C-alpha cells in the first residue's frame, strides 16, 4: 500500500490537462479560458447618457436653454446641439454632438418653453459615460486561466465576444458493480441494497458543472465487466467504478482493467475509508476504482477524483484543506490515515457519529472531512488537525 500523499502525487503526475476547444459563450459557463480574450471594439461605442434627463454644454449651465429634439436608447439619429440648446435624453442613449453633461430630469424647471437648471452640484461630464470607459478596443478583457462565472459570460457578451477558447469539462462514466444493487423505488428483496452511489456521484459532478455523465451497470462477471469498461472507455474521459475493487471472489475490476489494457498506477492506499482504491490510465483517460460502500465512495471522490477532474479541466481544486481545532477526543490504530465525517464552523471541527463506511447518514450532515494522520494514534480535544472542506 502507498500513503495518501503518494497516491495524490501519482494522480497529479498522470493527469494531463485536456486539449482546448473553441466554444460559444452560451455553453462556456463554469469552464476555464485557455487563451487571453481581447476587446474587439470600444464599449460603450459612443459617449452615452447614464441618466434620464437633458444633455447640455456644461458652459451653458447658467443659461435659459432651448429644447431641441431628443435622444432615446437605440436611436440611430445623429443629433447635435449648439450654445444655448439642450436635448431630452434617456439612459443608455448617445449624447448629442456638442453635449458634454447630462442634467437629471428632477433638477430642471421649464419656464416659457425654456429649460432652467437647478443643480448646484452639477459638474462637467456628470451623468455621462465616455466612449471606451468599460473597455477600449484591443484591451485585455479576460486572461487565460480565468474561470467563466455567470458574470464573466455576461461581460464577454456585453463586449461583443461570441466564442472563446476553453478547456472542456470531461465526459464521465460511472460503472456500478454488484448483484445486490436495486434502484430506489422498487421493493427491497432479501439480500438486496438500494443503490445510492450513482445518485451522490452524479450530484457531485453536476455541482462542478459536469453534466455529461453516463451511468452503466455491470454484473459480478469478468466478461460483462470487461465489456462495460470498454464501452465506458469509448465514450468517456474519466471512468469511476464503484465496488469490485478488492480481491474477493467476486471482485473483477483489477482483472477486467488489465484485459482493457489499462495501466495500473496504484492499488490500495493507507487510508480508512477507501483502502482498496484503484487508479489507472489508458492514454489520457483516467480510471478510478472506488470501494462500493457509500461513505468510501464520497471520501475517495473528494480526496482524489475531484482534484483530478480539476487538473483535467484547468480548474482550481474546489476541495480546500485548512487547519481546525478538534472538538472531540479520538483514538485510532497507527498505520492508516482516517477521514472522519465532520462539521466545521469558525475554526473548529467536530467528528460526527456513524463513521462506518457503509453509513451515509452522517455524511449527509457533514461539511468537512477531518484528516487524522497515519502515524498518530491519539488525537486530543483541542488539538489542531487538517480538514478538507466539502464544496457546498
Cell numbers 449527509: residue: 364
- Long-range contacts formed by 181-186: CB under 8 A, 24+ apart: 181/217
With a cut of 80, say whether residue 249 has pLDDT above it: no
Mean pLDDT in residue range 50-76: 95
Q: Dihedral of CA 97/101/106/109: which sign?
A: negative
For residue 250, name the pLDDT band (cuts at 50, 70, 90).
Answer: low
How far apart are the C-alpha atoms of 308 and 141, rounded to whole Å? 29
With a cut of 80, say whether residue 255 has pLDDT above it: yes
CB 209: neighbour CB atoms within 10 A?
14
Instruction: Give pLDDT, residue 348.
Output: 98
- For β-strands 348-351 and 320-326, DSSP reports them as parallel
Closest CA to 99 of 78, 120, 73, 76: 78
Question: Is the separation of the CB atoms in 311 and 17 below 8 Å?
Answer: yes
End-to-end distance of the chain based on CA atoms, in angstroms? 32
For residue 77, name the pLDDT band (cuts at 50, 70, 90).
Answer: confident
Instruction: Give pLDDT, residue 244.
Output: 86
Mean pLDDT in residue range 292-306: 96
Per-residue pLDDT tens over the stretch 366-392: 999 999 999 999 999 999 999 999 998
Per-residue pLDDT tens over the stretch 166-212: 999 999 999 999 888 999 999 999 999 999 999 999 999 999 999 99
How far apart are the C-alpha atoms of 243 and 240, rounded to whole Å? 10
Distances in Å between the Cα of 292 and the Cα atoms of 300, 301, 371 are 11, 12, 21
How far apart are the C-alpha atoms of 211 and 166, rounded to whole Å? 17
Note the pTM of the prediction, 2 decimals: 0.88
Question: Is the separation of the CB atoms in 330 and 351 below 8 Å?
Answer: yes
- For β-strands 37-38 and 140-142, DSSP reports them as antiparallel
How far apart are the C-alpha atoms of 315 and 308, rounded to whole Å? 10
Mean pLDDT in residue range 277-300: 96
How far apart are the C-alpha atoms of 202 and 207, rounded to whole Å? 9
Per-residue pLDDT tens over the stretch 84-94: 999 999 999 99
How far apart are the C-alpha atoms of 305 and 288, rounded to whole Å? 7
Cell numbers 450530484: residue: 203
Closest CA to 362 of 300, 304, 276, 299: 299
Closest CA to 340 of 288, 379, 382: 379
- Name the phi and psi angles at 25, rounded to 5: -60, -25
HEC sequence for the chain: CECHHHHHHHHHHHCCCCCCEEEEHHHCCCCEECCCEECCCCECCCCEECCCEEEECHHHCCCCEEEEEEECCCCCCCCECCCCEEEEECCCCECCECCCEEEEHHHEEEECCEEEECCCCCCCCCCEECCCCCECCCCEEECCCCECCHHHHHHHHHCCCCEEEEECCCCEEEEEECCCEECCCCCCCCCCEECCHHHHHHHHHHHCCCCCEEEEEECCCHHHHHHHHHHHHHHCCEEEEECCCCCCCCCCHHHHHHHCCCEEEEECECEECCCCCEEEEECCEEEEEECCCHHHHHHHHHHHHHHHHHHHCCCCCCCEEEEEEECCCEECCCCCEEEEEEEEECCEEEECCCCCCCCCCCHHHCCEEEEECCCCCEECCCCEEEEEECCC
How far apart are the C-alpha atoms of 390 and 392, rounded to whole Å? 6
Q: Dihedral of CA 326/327/329/335: which sign?
A: negative
- For β-strands 337-345 and 348-351, DSSP reports them as antiparallel
Average model confidence (pLDDT) for the chain? 95
Ordered domains of the chain (ranges, CATH)? 4-18+169-312 (3.40.980.10), 21-42+138-167 (3.90.105.10), 48-129 (2.170.190.11), 320-389 (2.40.340.10)
Amino acid at each position: 500500500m502507498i500513503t495518501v500523499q503518494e497516491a495524490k502525487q501519482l494522480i497529479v503526475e498522470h493527469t494531463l490537462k485536456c486539449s482546448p476547444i473553441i466554444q460559444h459563450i452560451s455553453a462556456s459557463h463554469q469552464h476555464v479560458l485557455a487563451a487571453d480574450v481581447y476587446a474587439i471594439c470600444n464599449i460603450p461605442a459612443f459617449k452615452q447618457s447614464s441618466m434620464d434627463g437633458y444633455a447640455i454644454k456644461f458652459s451653458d449651465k447658467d443659461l435659459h436653454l432651448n429644447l431641441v429634439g431628443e435622444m432615446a436608447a437605440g436611436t440611430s439619429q445623429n443629433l447635435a446641439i449648439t450654445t444655448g440648446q439642450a436635448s431630452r435624453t434617456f439612459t443608455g442613449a448617445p449624447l448629442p454632438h456638442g453635449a458634454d453633461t447630462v442634467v437629471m430630469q428632477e433638477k430642471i424647471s421649464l419656464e416659457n418653453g425654456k429649460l432652467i437648471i437647478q443643480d448646484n452640484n452639477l459638474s462637467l461630464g456628470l451623468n455621462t459615460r465616455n466612449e471606451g470607459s468599460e473597455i477600449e478596443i484591443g484591451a485585455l478583457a479576460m486572461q487565460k486561466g480565468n474561470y467563466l462565472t455567470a458574470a464573466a459570460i455576461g461581460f464577454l457578451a456585453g463586449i461583443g465576444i461570441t466564442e472563446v477558447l476553453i478547456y472542456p469539462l470531461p465526459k464521465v462514466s460511472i460503472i456500478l458493480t454488484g448483484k445486490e444493487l436495486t434502484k430506489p423505488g422498487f421493493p427491497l428483496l432479501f439480500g438486496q441494497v438500494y443503490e445510492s452511489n450513482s445518485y451522490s456521484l452524479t450530484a457531485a459532478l453536476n455541482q462542478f458543472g459536469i453534466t455529461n455523465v453516463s451511468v452503466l451497470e455491470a454484473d459480478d462477471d469478468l466478461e460483462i465487466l470487461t465489456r462495460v469498461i470498454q464501452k465506458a472507455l469509448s465514450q468517456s474521459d474519466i471512468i469511476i467504478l464503484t465496488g469490485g475493487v478488492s480481491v474477493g471472489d467476486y471482485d473483477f475490476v483489477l482483472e477486467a482493467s488489465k484485459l482493457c489494457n489499462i495501466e495500473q498506477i496504484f492499488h490500495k492506499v493507507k487510508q480508512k475509508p477507501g483502502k482498496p482504491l484503484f487508479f489507472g490510465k489508458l492514454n489520457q483517460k483516467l480510471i478510478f476504482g472506488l470501494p462500493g460502500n457509500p461513505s468510501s465512495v464520497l471520501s475517495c471522490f473528494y480526496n482524489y477524483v475531484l482534484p483530478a477532474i480539476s487538473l483535467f479541466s484547468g480548474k482550481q481544486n474546489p476541495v480546500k484543506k485548512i487547519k481546525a481545532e478538534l472538538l472531540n477526543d479520538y483514538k485510532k490504530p497507527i498505520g492508516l490515515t482516517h477521514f472522519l465525517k465532520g462539521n466545521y464552523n469558525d475554526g473548529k471541527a467536530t467528528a460526527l457519529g456513524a463513521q462506518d463506511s457503509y453509513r451515509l447518514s452522517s455524511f449527509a450532515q457533514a461539511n468537512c472531512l477531518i484528516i487524522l494522520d497515519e502515524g498518530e494514534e491519539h488525537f486530543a480535544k483541542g488539538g489542531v488537525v487538517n480538514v478538507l472542506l466539502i464544496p457546498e
